[in-house]
Amino acid sequence: MASKEYAKVRELFKPGLAVASDPTMLVREKMTATHPTAKPKDIIERLETIAGVPCAWVTTPDAGDTDRVVLLVHGGAFVSTKLPHYIPYCAGLSRHIPARFLVHEYSLAPEARFPTQIDETCAVYRGLLDQGIAPERIAFAGDSCGGGIAVASLCTLRDAGTPLPACFMGFTPWFDLEQEGEAATKPMGVDPFVNRDWIRARGRDYVGPDGDVRAPLVSPLHADLAGLPPMFLSVGTVDTTADDSTRLAQRAGRANVSVVLDVNAEMIHGFHGLAAMFPEGRASLRRAGAFLREHVPDAA
């Protein structure tokens, strides 16, 4: 049974946020309202442009003195959120995941379609390598739609022969824009943030009216995963995208990719962004932190 703290958080979010027919500007308005920009007082932040893409370095004292870098591909359903919305998110992650976080402001759909977001993510990663940061000191991460962009970027980098980062962490990631998993078609509860039709509509925003949502780099569930780094995939059982991760984990295993599947009872989509408010979220982030330490050990 979920904690009392989590139950109180659930009461804050009512159904109706995710309406498939909403125009882009209304989606952005709703998403902005659920992604606060208030920063913690102890945040350590620095803005930088890498490969022409606006970026923010974010950490907190809880992360310690570390050279680990986590390149976070932010969520927002492909169409919304900017750096100010994800700087606080990264600060929250850094309290349990010991790293310097780099979040970049990729171009948003529908004004910019697939594969622009993947190209920009790859460019930022290559920019880090050009700065002399070793790939084995870097992890990729992505929440929500950013998880799919991140894995598609890993596939793109692999195919180009670029050295890959040490690992990937996905937080309720989107890997199937058709939403054919049982968690989407037969949901265990009502998720206030996402539903099947809404995600399918946002996927259409991403690829355009004539795009193929089953294309491997659009929905990485269908991608060749061989040679990708170890993965940590964290989902909640009420999240309608949960089976994106369970199915990707199965395919990754068949491709000899190591996967840790972190399933959290009763949790909703995007719960990691609210983790400071309830113990289940903090515990999941601590497990992600342990995964990162395993694959990007403390510097000698």
Averaged over 207-215, what is the pLDDT?
Answer: 98
- Residues 73-119 have pLDDT tens digits of 999 999 999 999 999 999 999 999 999 999 999 999 999 999 999 99
Q: Which helix (DSSP H) or strand (DSSP E) does residue 160 occupy?
A: none
Q: What residue numbers bound the domain in which 54 lies? A: 4-295
DSSP 97: S
Q: Domain containing 275 — which CATH number?
A: 3.40.50.1820
The whole-model pTM stands at: 0.97
Is residue 104, in this structure, part of any structural domain at all? yes
Q: Residue 300's pLDDT is what?
A: 66
Is residue 300, in this structure, part of any structural domain at all? no
Q: Residue 1's pLDDT is what?
A: 84
- Residues 277-300 have pLDDT tens digits of 999 999 999 999 999 999 999 886
- Residues 14-59 have pLDDT tens digits of 878 899 999 999 999 999 999 989 999 999 999 999 999 999 999 9
- Residues 223-261 have pLDDT tens digits of 999 999 999 999 999 999 999 999 999 999 999 999 999
Contacts of 138 (CB under 8 A, 6+ apart): 68, 69, 70, 71, 125, 128, 165, 166, 296
Chain position carrying tokens 């870098």: 69
If you average pLDDT over every residue of the chain, what do you get? Answer: 97
Q: Residue 14's pLDDT is what?
A: 80
- Does pLDDT of 215 surpass 70? yes
How far is it, in rounded angstroms, from Cα 112 to Cα 279? Answer: 38
- Does pLDDT of 180 surpass 70? yes
CB-based contact 221:242 (threshold 8 Å): no
Please tell me the chain's helix, strand, coil percentages from 3-state DSSP, rounded to the nearest 5: 40, 15, 45
Q: Residue 299's pLDDT is what?
A: 81
The count of domains in the chain is 1
Q: Residue 15's pLDDT is what?
A: 78
Is residue 188, in this structure, part of any structural domain at all? yes
